[in-house]
Amino acid sequence: MYEGAVQELIDELGRLPGVGPKSAQRIAFHILEADPEDMKRLATSITTVKERVQFCEICGNVTEEATCSICRDTRRDPSVICVVEESKDVIAVERTRSFKGRYHVLGGSINPIAGIGPEQLRIRELMTRLSDEQIQEIIIATDPNLEGEATATYLGRLLQSIGVTVSRLASGLPVGGDLEYADEVTLGRAFEGRRSVSS
Amino acid sequence: MPSKSFASRTYRDQGVVLRTHKLGEADRIIILLTAKHGQIRAVAKGVRRTSSKFGARLEPFMVADLQLVAGRTLDIVTQAVSLGWYGRDIAADYSRYTVGAAMTETAERLTDVDSESATAQYQLLIGGLAALSRGEYPPEMILDSYLLRALATAGWAPSFTECARCSAPGPHSAFSPALGGVACHDCRPPGSAAPAPGTVVLLAALLEGDWTQAVKAEEQQRKEASTLVAAYLQWHLERAVRSMKLVERV
Ligand SMILES: [Zn+2]
C-alpha cells in the first residue's frame, strides 16, 4: 500500500475496464513521472468529456448536443434504423459507408447473470420511436456473440407483431467476436446480405 | 523457487462455459465447470477478435475439450475443440436463453467452494443444457428439474414423499424449504406452503427426472412447482440467483 494520493490514484485506475492492479500501479507511476502539462491536459479532457458529452435524446449515441449529428442530418434515411449495442458500434458501421439510415444504441446486451435484462437497455425508447416515427425497417446489428444473438432473438420476437421489417446482419460475420473488430468489407457485406427475422 | 516448466503446467479436461466477461482489448475471462478440475477461471486470448481461432467455442453454454496452462491466478486456454454446440440453439429462443443463464449461474454458485460434487454437477449441467438446446421439454420444466437435482447433488436433496423431519410415509400436504421438503401434519412448521397433491407428484417426478410423469402435469401445478423450487433454491443459497428474475414462466 502506498500513501494517500498515490494509492487513491491506483485504486481509481484499477476500476477502469481492462486495468488490473499491476497495470494500475504502472500507469500511476507513469503519471507521477510525466510532464505536468501533459497530465493537466489529460485531466482536463476527462473533465470536459464528463461535462459536455451526453447521450442523444433520440438514439442514445454520444453527442455534445441534445441530439447527435446523425439524427440531425436530414439526408439520412428516416425509414431505417440500425440497432447496435454501443456507440463504438455506430462508428464501426459508419466506416462501412453502406448504411444510410439512423441508429438506436441499446447500451449493452441482455445478460441475465450480470443483472441486465430488457428493462436495463434502451428498448422502451426504441418502441417509442417506432410509434412516433415513419420507420419501415429495423436492422439488428448486435455483436455476433451469444449475448448479442440472444438480444437479437428477443428484439425479433418483440418487433414481430408491429408490422415493420426486421432483419439481422448476415451470418458472414464470424461468431464469437465483437462487432467493432469486424473489418469494413466483411461488415459491409453482412449489411448487404442481411436476412429477415420473421419467424 | 524454480518455476515449473510450461509442459508440466499444461493440462487437458472437458468443460462447459458458465459465464464470460471482457478483459482488456480483445480477451475474455472464461468461467468453466470442468469434468475433473472443478470450477476454473481461465483467460482466452484474442477471443473477441473476429479472426480468433476459438470462434464461438468459448461462449456460454458451449462444451469443449480444452487444453489449458495453469497460471498463478488465472489459467490460459490454449486449445478448444467443441463437444457440444448448445449455445446457438439456446440463444435462438429467448425463454431457453434465460433458463440457460439461471442454470449456469446456479452451477457456478454450487461449485465455487464445493469441488467434491463438481464432476457430478458437470454431468448434470451438460445433460440439462443438451435437453434445453433440443427443446425436448418446456424450458421452465427443464430448469425446475435441473435446480432440484443440482441442489440434491450439492447435498440438499429435498423429500417429496416421506416427511422431511420424521420420515412418516406420505403423501403429505405441507411443504417447507427450511425442513427440506414435505412435512406431515405433526411436523409442519407454521406458515408452510400447502401445495396441491398433483404439484407434489410433479416435484417428485422433476427430482427423479421422470419426464413421462412430469409432462402430465397441468399448468397450475407447473406454476406452483416453480414457485416452490425457487423458494427451495433461495433458502439454500445466500444470495439470490439473479437470472431467476428474467426466467419466463408459463
Ligand atoms: Zn442520435
Give the residue, A97 or B128, on which the prediction is more confident. Answer: B128
Look at residue B108 in the predicted model and tell me its pLDDT.
96
Please tell me whether the peptide bond between B171 and the residue prior to it is cis, using omega within 30 degrees of 0: yes
In this predicted model, what pLDDT tens digit does every residue of A119-149 receive, in sequence order? 999 999 999 999 877 899 999 999 988 999 9
B63 and B79 co-located in one domain: yes
CATH number at residue B14: 2.40.50.140
- B178 lies in a domain? yes
B150 and B233 co-located in one domain: yes
pLDDT at A186 over 90: no
- Reference B75, options B23, B10, B7, B122; nearest CA is B10
Give the residue, A181 or B31, on which the prediction is more confident. Answer: B31
At residue A76, what is the residue type?
R
Average confidence score pLDDT of chain B:
92
Q: Note whether B11 and B32 are within 8 A (CB).
A: no
Look at residue A180 in the predicted model and tell me its pLDDT.
76
Task: Identify the CATH homologous superfamily for domain A4-52.
Answer: RecR Domain 1 (1.10.8.420)
CATH number at residue B130: 1.20.1440.120
pLDDT at B120 over 90: yes
B10 and B68 co-located in one domain: yes
ipTM of the complex: 0.90
- pLDDT more than 70, % of chain A: 95
Tell me, yes or no, if B98 comes closer than 8 A to chain A by beta carbon: yes
In this predicted model, what pLDDT tens digit does every residue of A3-37 receive, in sequence order? 789 999 999 999 988 788 888 999 999 999 999 99
Q: Which of B 55-74 lie inside 8 A of A, CB atoms?
A: 55-61
Look at residue A194 in the predicted model and tell me its pLDDT.
81
pTM: 0.88
Task: pLDDT band for B138, please (50, 70, 90 cuts).
Answer: very high
Of A160-169, A182-191, B64-73, B225-234, the range with the lowest mean pLDDT is A182-191
Give residue limits of the domains in chain A: 4-52, 58-196
In this predicted model, what pLDDT tens digit does every residue of B16-48 receive, in sequence order? 999 998 888 889 999 999 999 999 999 999 988
Task: Indicate the angle between helix axes A123-132 and A146-159, nearest 10 degrees.
Answer: 40
- Reference B184, options B202, B164, B198, B204; nearest CA is B164
Look at residue A175 in the predicted model and tell me its pLDDT.
67
Distance separating alpha carbons of residues B129 and B133, to the nearest angstrom: 6
Report, as an integer, the average pLDDT of B1-19. Answer: 82
Neighbours of ion ligand 1 (CB under 5 A): A 56, 58-59, 61, 68, 71
- B233 lies in a domain? yes
Look at residue A144 in the predicted model and tell me its pLDDT.
87
Domain A58-196: top CATH class: alpha beta
Domain endpoint, select from B69, B84, B99: B84
Look at residue B3 in the predicted model and tell me its pLDDT.
58
Find, in chain B, the residue whose alpha carbon is nearest to that of A112. B243
Q: Note whether B41 and B30 are within 8 A (CB).
A: yes
Q: Do domains A4-52 and A58-196 have the same CATH topology?
A: no
pLDDT at B119 over 90: yes
Look at residue A199 in the predicted model and tell me its pLDDT.
46
Domain endpoint, select from B51, B84, B117: B84
Task: pLDDT band for A198, please (50, 70, 90 cuts).
Answer: low
pLDDT at B1 over 80: no
The CA-based angle A160-A148-A132, given to 5 degrees, is 40
pLDDT at A151 over 70: yes
What cell does A51 get? 461535462
The gap between the terminal CA atoms of chain A, to the nearest Å, is 58
- Reference B123, options B157, B155, B89, B150; nearest CA is B150
Parent domain of B16: 6-84
- B194 lies in a domain? yes
pLDDT at B170 over 60: yes
- B239 lies in a domain? yes
Q: How many CB pairs under 8 A join A and B?
A: 88
Determine whether the interchain pair A176/B58 forms a contact, defined as Cβ–Cβ distance below 8 Å: yes
B98 and B206 co-located in one domain: yes
Task: pLDDT band for A174, please (50, 70, 90 cuts).
Answer: low
Look at residue A21 in the predicted model and tell me its pLDDT.
83
Q: Which of A 121-150 lie inside 8 A of B, CB atoms?
A: 144-147, 149-150
Give the residue, A9 or B113, on which the prediction is more confident. Answer: A9
- B153 lies in a domain? yes
Determine whether the interchain pair B243/A112 forms a contact, defined as Cβ–Cβ distance below 8 Å: yes
Which residue is associated with the grid cell 503519471?
Answer: A31
Task: pLDDT band for B234, please (50, 70, 90 cuts).
Answer: very high
- B96 lies in a domain? yes
Look at residue B250 in the predicted model and tell me its pLDDT.
63
Q: Note whether A140 and A169 are within 8 A (CB).
A: yes
Of A190-194, B156-160, B179-183, the range with the lowest mean pLDDT is A190-194
Look at residue A19 in the predicted model and tell me its pLDDT.
83
DSSP 8-state secondary structure symbol assigned to residue A178: -
In this predicted model, what pLDDT tens digit does every residue of A48-84 receive, in sequence order? 988 989 999 999 999 999 999 999 999 999 999 999 9
Determine whether the interchain pair A150/B94 forms a contact, defined as Cβ–Cβ distance below 8 Å: yes
CA distance B162 to chain A (A): 35
How many distinct structural domains can be found in chain B?
2
- B157 lies in a domain? yes
